[in-house]
């Protein structure tokens, strides 16, 4: 457990699932993306998360994406796999049946649509952690699930031997601070918001699971490292250069923005699956200007 946690310190990237113009998974692009992360200093990969458009992938596609990433990665970086659902019994069956070869941990978001209370969340995650054959990372993202997991619930679940941390995307620094202040030593906290990563890591969090890192892993990894080592001035400066791009990522839905940026960099096409739509021409113009400004600041 300690070895898993130490390998997940720093920048994790919630990888997009690239599609070609026919709407199929673009495996050559996925290979480029894995290499881009490894070369860019990313600490670990997160596959089948929100940014991966996982709800639009069939079960067979999900398995192929994970297997392909594991093959290309070849053990170079830890791989975390997103496995989420709002039917606890079905999710436990699914997570227990996963071939966990090469998988470092599972990322499990709070159930969407059901809106369980705190006791329901505790029971849900306890059942999932009992069923999982790899460590579980909680994922609190109330903006998507309409369900906020309180600091008290997180800390109660942190006592489970198979729960190793949380991706916190509540946007609530006070709540995150409460978790950081009282967490057990074996429990990690990752920011789930690019825009809040710098203050969250400066408060003592272990890293960031990033969207923007798909395109720009080097500066994102640098910002996390600077904040982690108390280099506040440097972290603030890096954050300031990246902030315009962070804001644009979600202007028309994630991952439309990041895929447009990655297309501009030659990493993948900008295609997404319905109900999402590709970035508009207006958003692309803003993205390209922000990318150009970032490249100027890097020199």
In this predicted structure, what is the pLDDT of residue 6? 77
In this predicted structure, what is the pLDDT of residue 299? 67
Q: For residue 108, give the nearest of 94, 99, 97 by alpha carbon.
A: 94
Instruction: Please give the Cα distance from 34 to 70 (Å, whole number).
Output: 10
In this predicted structure, what is the pLDDT of residue 4? 77
Instruction: Please give the Cα distance from 137 to 189 (Å, whole number).
Output: 9
In this predicted structure, what is the pLDDT of residue 2? 65
In this predicted structure, what is the pLDDT of residue 1? 64
Q: Sign of dihedral through CA atoms 238, 171, 273, 12? A: positive
Q: What is the mean pLDDT of residues 44-64?
A: 97
In this predicted structure, what is the pLDDT of residue 119? 98
In this predicted structure, what is the pLDDT of residue 15? 98
Q: For residue 52, give the nearest of 191, 258, 218, 217 by alpha carbon.
A: 258
Domain ranges of the chain: 2-230
Q: For residue 134, give the nearest of 70, 65, 83, 86 by alpha carbon.
A: 83
Taking all residues of the chain, what is their mean pLDDT, rounded to a whole number? 96
Instruction: Please give the Cα distance from 87 to 170 (Å, whole number).
Output: 22
pLDDT in tens, 207-222: 999 999 999 999 999 9
Catalytic site positions: 139, 167
Give percent above pLDDT 70 in the chain: 98
In this predicted structure, what is the pLDDT of residue 249? 96
Residue 96 — φ and ψ, nearest 5°?
-70, -30
In this predicted structure, what is the pLDDT of residue 181? 98
In this predicted structure, what is the pLDDT of residue 7? 86
Give percent above pLDDT 90 in the chain: 96
Instruction: Please give the Cα distance from 268 to 28 (Å, whole number).
Output: 9
How many CA atoms lie less than 13 Å away from 2 in the CB half-sphere? Answer: 2
In this predicted structure, what is the pLDDT of residue 298? 78
Instruction: Please give the Cα distance from 160 to 125 (Å, whole number).
Output: 9
Instruction: Please give the Cα distance from 297 to 143 (Å, whole number).
Output: 32
Class of domain 2-230: alpha beta
Residue 221 and residue 42 in contact, taking contact as beta carbons nearer than 8 Å: yes
Per-residue pLDDT at 9 exceeds 90 = yes
In this predicted structure, what is the pLDDT of residue 296? 83
Render 75-139 in DSSP notation, one character per residue: TSS-EEEE---S-HHHHHHHHHTS--TT--EEEEEPPSSS---HHHHHHHHHHHHHH-SS-EEEE
Instruction: Please give the Cα distance from 4 to 1 (Å, whole number).
Output: 5
Q: 10 Å Cβ neighbour count for 41?
A: 17
Q: Give the Cα-Cα-Cα angle 205, 209, 213 (nearest 5 degrees).
A: 125
CA 65 to chain CA mean position, Å: 16
């Amino acid at each position: 457990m300690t070895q898993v946690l130490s390998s997940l310190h720093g920048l994790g990237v919630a990888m997009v699932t690239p599609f070609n113009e026919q709407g199929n998974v673009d495996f050559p692009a996925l290979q480029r993306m894995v290499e881009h992360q490894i070369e860019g200093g990313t600490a670990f990969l997160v596959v089948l998360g929100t940014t991966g458009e996982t709800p639009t992938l069939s079960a067979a596609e999900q398995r192929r994406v994970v297997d392909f990433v594991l093959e290309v990665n070849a053990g170079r970086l830890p791989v975390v796999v997103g496995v989420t659902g709002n039917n606890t019994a079905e999710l436990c069956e699914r997570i227990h049946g996963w071939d966990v070869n090469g998988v470092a941990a599972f990322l499990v978001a709070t159930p969407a649509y059901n809106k369980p209370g705190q006791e329901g969340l505790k029971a849900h995650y306890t059942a999932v952690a009992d069923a999982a054959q790899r460590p579980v990372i909680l994922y609190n993202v109330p903006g998507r699930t309409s369900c906020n997991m309180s600091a008290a619930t997180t800390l109660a679940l942190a006592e489970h031997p198979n729960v190793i941390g949380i991706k916190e995307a509540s946007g609530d620094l006070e709540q995150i601070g409460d978790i950081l202040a009282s967490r057990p030593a074996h429990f990690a906290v990752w920011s789930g918001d690019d825009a809040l990563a710098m203050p969250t890591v400066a408060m003592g969090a272990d890293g960031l699971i990033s969207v923007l890192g798909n395109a720009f892993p080097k500066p994102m990894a640098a910002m996390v490292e600077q904040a982690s080592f108390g280099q506040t001035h440097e972290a603030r400066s890096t954050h300031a250069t990246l902030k315009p791009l962070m804001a644009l990522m979600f202007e028309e839905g994630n991952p439309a923005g990041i895929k447009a940026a990655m297309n501009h960099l030659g990493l993948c096409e900008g295609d997404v699956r319905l109900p999402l739509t590709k970035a508009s021409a207006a958003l692309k113009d803003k993205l390209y200007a922000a990318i150009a400004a970032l490249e100027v600041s890097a020199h």
